[in-house]
Amino acid sequence: MYPILVLSVTGLVTLFLGFLKSKKILLPASLLFVAIAFLSNFIDWNAPGLYFYDMLEATNLSIIFSSIILLSAFLVMALSKGFLDDEHAQPAEYFAILQFSLVGAIMMTNFQNLIMLFVGVEILSVSMYILTGSDKRNIRGNEAALKYFLMGSFATGIMLFGMAMLYGANYTFNISDARILLLQPVTDVRPVFLYVGVTFLLIGLLFKVSAAPFHFWTPDVYEGAPTIFTTFMSTVVKTAGFAAIYRILEVSFSPMYNFWWVMIVTMAILSLFISNITAIAQQSFKRMLAFSSISHAGYMLLAVVGLNNKSGDSIVFYSLAYALATISAFGVLMIVSKDRLVDGRPNENIAVLNGLSKKSPFLAVVLAISMLSLAGIPLTAGFWGKFYVFTDAASRGHIWVLVIAIMMSAVGIYYYFKPIIAAYMKEGEGENIRLSAFYKIILGLTTAGSILLGLFPDLIRELL
């Protein structure tokens, strides 16, 4: 809960810092602000409670979700030094918007009232629309921002409609009260309102995490947005979206499992099929990662399909593993593609990674481990992430879902290895890449995190 206060204030402070002549202060200041927010997050640790007239609830799970969001944001910001070199960029505004968007993301992890969920989703989404189009001279970026905005506002509208229906059914926005009503044997609840409400609400949220069939915006937006914001989108927005989906279903609608699991399982399987099959044909690394992001939404939905008291932990672990690997992968892409221009834009094809192992062995290792983690190969965090969501799905007896998911992860290995093969087994042009120590530390951290969680997965699960 405290990070919301901290980040609202520091976001404003960052805007004012933009008036300073030297832009150098912005990055360290923003990192410091996020770090403070991260620490303030733990004030509520082991002290769950409701805040602001039952609008928000802090629980250990929501704190962990917020921490993952803040950690990812910290790492992404740390990689954003490129802003400061770009004369057209407005770093103060970017950093401020990123901090505001985090406020929305954190609201999504600990809302107690549907209104707060809506406010959170909107704060996060509007920030993302702006950041997607932040590179004004890039026509792809403008297209992406417009597309994201149009489709995103439809999705939000549908979600809001769902919330109104739910209010009509339950006469309350409070998610715990709604559950009590659901559990009563004979109620006043109007089932049509309830069912339509839940469906629409979920559609809105599933759009945000880019689950199929609401994924059509993802490849274009991921490709069009500046890479740094793509990274932010695929980690922070996804984690927040899943925190919200899990929270609403676990706290409020778990008695209706038999109603919504069919919808969730269909979307999970659709996401897995569409994304993995399409990703095979991608030439652009960024588009491939966009489809990979859809597929990971599918895997995380499996934890929701197997909703039990452990599946929150599974989503936490998966989000963290996915965030670490994704930040590494996009970080490498950002550094490698920066100086390799095609038509004035950074070259983001997989071929740009050719011969990376000779040009920068460190980046090649970072890339390889992140790809192995995304593919879910043992020794990396991604394996246990998949393992946990698979066991969740199996715990409800859906073995056939498990079989499909596993076939699709075999397909995933195929395309996740393309960058590794490019980096290690192909000859590339261009000179050696010099890395600043700062990038090395950040990418070293994400890579070490992937390996450490791969060897000792209990490090995170012990916390919960």
Partner 1 sequence: MLALTLILIPLIGSLVLFLLKGSSGSSSKNTALVASLATLAVAIYAFTTFSPQSTIGVKYSWMKDLNINFHISIDGISLLLVLLTAFLVPLIITSTFKHTYKNHASFYALILLAETALMGVFMARDIFLFYFFYEAALIPVYFIAALWGGKDAPRITFKMFVYTIFGSLFMLVALVYLYMKGASAEIDQLAITAKLLSPNAQNLLFWAFFIAFAIKMPVLPFHTWQPDAYSESPTPATMLLSGLLSKMGVYGLIRIMLPLAPVGVSNWGQFGMVLSIIGLIYGSIIAIQQNNIKRLIAYSSFAHMGLMAAGVLSGNINGIQGALLQMVAHGVNAVGLFFIVKIIYDRTGTRDLTALGGITQKTPALSIYFMIIMLGSVALPLTNGFVGEFLLLKGLYDKNVWLGGLAGLTIILGAVYMLRLMQRSMFGESNDITAKFKDVSGSEVAVLLPIAAVVLIMGLFPNVFLKITEPAVNSILQMMK
Give the binding site for partner 1 (CB under 8 A): 310, 313, 372, 377-379, 383, 387, 390-391, 394-395, 399, 402-403, 406-407, 409-410, 413-414, 417, 421, 424-425, 456-458, 461-462
| Smallest distance from partner 1 to CB 432, Å | 16
Neighbour count for residue 289 (Cβ, 10 Å):
29
Residue in the structure block whose two tokens are 């593609």? 337
Rounded CA separation 72/321 (Å): 11
User: Which residue lies nearer to partner 1 by CB, 195 or 387?
Assistant: 387
| Smallest distance from partner 1 to CB 239, Å | 21
User: Which residue lies nearer to partner 1 by CB, 80 or 282?
Assistant: 282
User: Which residue lies nearer to partner 1 by CB, 32 or 421?
Assistant: 421
Sequence-separated (6 or more) residues with CB below 8 Å from residue 39: none
> Is there a contact between 306 and 398 (Cβ–Cβ < 8 Å)?
yes
| Smallest distance from partner 1 to CB 20, Å | 42
User: Which residue lies nearer to partner 1 by CB, 340 or 461?
Assistant: 461
What are residue 341's phi and psi, to 5 degrees?
-90, 140
User: Which residue lies nearer to partner 1 by CB, 107 or 372?
Assistant: 372
| Smallest distance from partner 1 to CB 129, Å | 39
User: Which residue lies nearer to partner 1 by CB, 13 or 403?
Assistant: 403
Name the nearest CA neighbour of 276 among 300, 294, 250, 249: 294
> Is there a contact between 289 and 228 (Cβ–Cβ < 8 Å)?
no
Name the nearest CA neighbour of 266 among 211, 207, 195: 211
> Is there a contact between 350 and 287 (Cβ–Cβ < 8 Å)?
no
| Smallest distance from partner 1 to CB 269, Å | 15
| Smallest distance from partner 1 to CB 431, Å | 20
Name the nearest CA neighbour of 413 among 276, 272, 275: 276
Sequence-separated (6 or more) residues with CB below 8 Å from residue 249: 260, 304, 307
| Smallest distance from partner 1 to CB 427, Å | 12
User: Which residue lies nearer to partner 1 by CB, 281 or 407?
Assistant: 407
Integer angstrom CA distances of residue 278 from 281, 289, 290, 292: 6, 11, 10, 9
DSSP-based three-state secondary structure for 113 = strand
185: DSSP letter: S
User: Which residue lies nearer to partner 1 by CB, 148 or 383?
Assistant: 383
User: Which residue lies nearer to partner 1 by CB, 372 or 443?
Assistant: 372
Question: Which H helix or E strand runs over 346?
Answer: strand 345-346
> Is there a contact between 295 and 276 (Cβ–Cβ < 8 Å)?
yes
| Smallest distance from partner 1 to CB 240, Å | 25
| Smallest distance from partner 1 to CB 448, Å | 13
| Smallest distance from partner 1 to CB 105, Å | 27
Rounded CA separation 211/274 (Å): 10
> Is there a contact between 50 and 112 (Cβ–Cβ < 8 Å)?
yes
User: Which residue lies nearer to partner 1 by CB, 239 or 409?
Assistant: 409
What one-character-per-residue DSSP string does 235-289 give?
A: IIIHHHHHHHHHHIIIIISGGGHHHHHHHHHHHHHHHHHHHHHHHHT--BHHHHH
Residue type at position 143: E
| Smallest distance from partner 1 to CB 274, Å | 20
| Smallest distance from partner 1 to CB 407, Å | 8
**The token pair that represents 457 in the structure block:** 């997965």
- Residue 255 exposure: Cα atoms within 13 Å on the Cβ side: 13
User: Which residue lies nearer to partner 1 by CB, 154 or 417?
Assistant: 417
Neighbour count for residue 227 (Cβ, 10 Å):
24
User: Which residue lies nearer to partner 1 by CB, 97 or 443?
Assistant: 443
